[in-house]
Amino acid sequence: MKLSGTRQLSARPADVWVKLNDVDTLRRCIPGCETLDKVGDNDLKATAALKIGPMAVRFTGDVTLSDLDPPRSYRINGKGSAGPAGMASGGATVKLEAKDDGTLLSYDVDANVGGKIAQLGQRLIDATAGQMAEKFFTAFAAEFPAEAEGQSPMAQPAATPSAGIPAAVWWGAGALLLAIVVYLLAR
């Protein structure tokens, strides 16, 4: 399946970047996320419990970030297994751009599901994915209090680059999370 969309966030890209790179934030925002751990510079492991129609499944997924171009874009790829319920794999391209004093986040996801999830859940997958994306972004948007808006101009390059590789990783983590969300949804 394919899913794409945009979200306007009330924070500058640099701040969004930081939040997206914060594992705790992401863990809070990803629907059903139980664990999210960094296992390498650009690699994360995640588990999430999801309900797809009649199926309650727990995914364990590995997420890898690539094409990191902080703070503009990256690619996140993942593969998750839900044991006997099947598996999912996919990727997402996430882009951030400054817009209207905030950030426009856009994502393009493609995901494939297999096994029982594909056999039984086909018609539910798009809807589930849509709902999960909605939940994630609603939660993620809530991480940026409205009063914070406008305080930090988007040009605060020091904050992000200073993180160096870790920043990318966090970014990646965010992406991963997104990706995970996306694929979980996609599944």
* Site residues (vs other proteins, CB under 8 A): 53, 83-84, 86-87, 112-116, 118-120, 122-123
With respect to other proteins, which residue has the nearer C-beta, 56 or 142?
56
φ and ψ at residue 58, rounded to 5 degrees = -115, 120
| 8-state DSSP, 87 | E
With respect to other proteins, which residue has the nearer C-beta, 91 or 115?
115
Instruction: Compute the least distance from the CB of residue 119 to other proteins, in Å.
Output: 3
The 10 Å Cβ neighbour count of residue 26 is 28
CA distance 25 to 73: 19
Are 143 and 19 within 8 A, CB to CB?
A: yes
With respect to other proteins, which residue has the nearer C-beta, 2 or 72?
2
Instruction: Compute the least distance from the CB of residue 2 to other proteins, in Å.
Output: 12
With respect to other proteins, which residue has the nearer C-beta, 96 or 111?
111
With respect to other proteins, which residue has the nearer C-beta, 13 or 90?
90
The 10 Å Cβ neighbour count of residue 57 is 24
Instruction: Compute the least distance from the CB of residue 84 to other proteins, in Å.
Output: 4
Q: Per-residue DSSP letters for 115-165? A: THHHHHHHHHHHHHHHHHHHHHHHHHHTTS-GGGTTTS-S--TTTTGGGHH
Instruction: Compute the least distance from the CB of residue 94 to other proteins, in Å.
Output: 24
**Angle formed at CA 87 by CA 84 and CA 90, multiple of 5 degrees:** 175
CA-based nearest residue to 66, from 40, 34, 46? 40
Instruction: Compute the least distance from the CB of residue 133 to other proteins, in Å.
Output: 21
